Amino acid sequence: MSIPYKPSLRTTGKRFTPKINEFFTFGTDLRVMAFDDDRGTTSVFPMQADFYFSARLTDKVTLYHDQGFRRGLDLNNFETFALAQVLPFDGYVKVGKFVPAFGLKLDNHTAFIRGGNSSTAGAGSRAPDFASFTNGTGFSQQDKDEGVEVGFYPRNASIQIAVLNGGRDSTNDFDTNTSKAFASRADYIFDFDVARATIGGSFYQNDGSSSLETIYATHFGANWSKFTYLGEVDWETLDDEMAREGVRRGVRRTASYHELNYLAVRGIDLKMIYEFIDPDREINDDSLTRISGGVEFFPLPHQEIRLEYRHTLGNRDVNPDANLNEVIMMYHVFF
């Protein structure tokens, strides 16, 4: 079976550039998704509509702003910071509102190691105070926080450390207590003759007004020939500091993600994904296993079409996302 794809379909002529001039650059991400599942839901909606702008103030200082427009001018959906590349080992200082460095950076915010499924909230949990944390580990594009981050890139390594307000899931930019959150991430890339590999870890702790959230994670990846593998495992603990009698003091949860890609031909990428989440390890049968397969098609520069099928395994009597079949198609324009 031949795939009707011709690289000659790519446009020719003068190459597009997002640079306005030597100081100002802009960009955008538009993702339109169509999906159908066996719960009777069929819809087309704009999953992402972001506009990016950066200004190079000096050779070492850049001002960056990312504004979301998915529901008009979404004043709660923005990222803005100043980045000063003034530290040794190609290091930087970042100050503002941003997504903390943690684990893998994925464009799929529904991955269990990132945002998770919205209907997973509270599924199987006996601790309603922690229901919002059963969606996913977090650190997707929705989980921005205010603070300071420093980073270093010594040779094949990268290190990031941040002090934050701790409101990455809040629309309030002001901290409501004197405690702060801490985030750190580090990894190293190994170069071999025929392959490359990376391994790293992340840590996050937020001592909030009513709970202590601690997350450990390890991420890893490898590339050989036309194959690329990415993986991450997260362990999260939520301890209630204001526990009432008869209510458990905490929730222990685990999430993992494994992705294998194969570059079939230029512009066509085949993808397989395996995911697992246990929202609460003390509750039986609330875990989910999700298997996905699909194709990413890049017919023209700055455009992507993705077709994916997902099946979620589990006990539907305990977790409403179990035994779910989904078909997803996404059109992505970016520059």
Specify whether the CB–CB gap between 188 and 156 falls below 8 A.
Answer: yes
Domain boundaries, the chain: 23-28+48-266
Phi, psi of 317 (to 5 degrees): -70, -25
Assigned token pair, 137: 């580990």
Please, what's the largest Cα pairwise distance for the chain? Answer: 71
Q: Compute the C-alpha angle 195/196/199, nearest 5°.
A: 145
The answer as to CATH 2.40.160.10 being correct for domain 23-28+48-266 is yes
Tens digit of pLDDT at every position of the chain (335 positions): 334 444 444 555 677 888 999 999 999 999 999 989 887 888 998 888 899 999 999 999 999 999 988 665 666 778 999 999 999 999 999 999 999 999 999 988 889 999 887 544 443 333 333 344 347 888 988 889 999 999 999 999 999 999 999 876 666 666 666 788 999 999 999 999 999 999 999 999 998 756 788 999 999 999 999 999 999 999 998 886 554 444 545 678 899 999 999 999 999 999 999 999 998 888 888 889 999 999 999 999 999 999 999 999 998 887 777 888 999 999 999 99
Q: Smallest Cα–Cα separation from 330: which of 27, 28, 35?
A: 35
CA-to-CA distance for 112 and 181, rounded, in angstroms? 22
Residue type (1 letter), 103: G
Say whether pTM exceeds 0.75: yes
CA-to-CA distance for 272 and 258, rounded, in angstroms? 8
Assigned token pair, 17: 């550039």
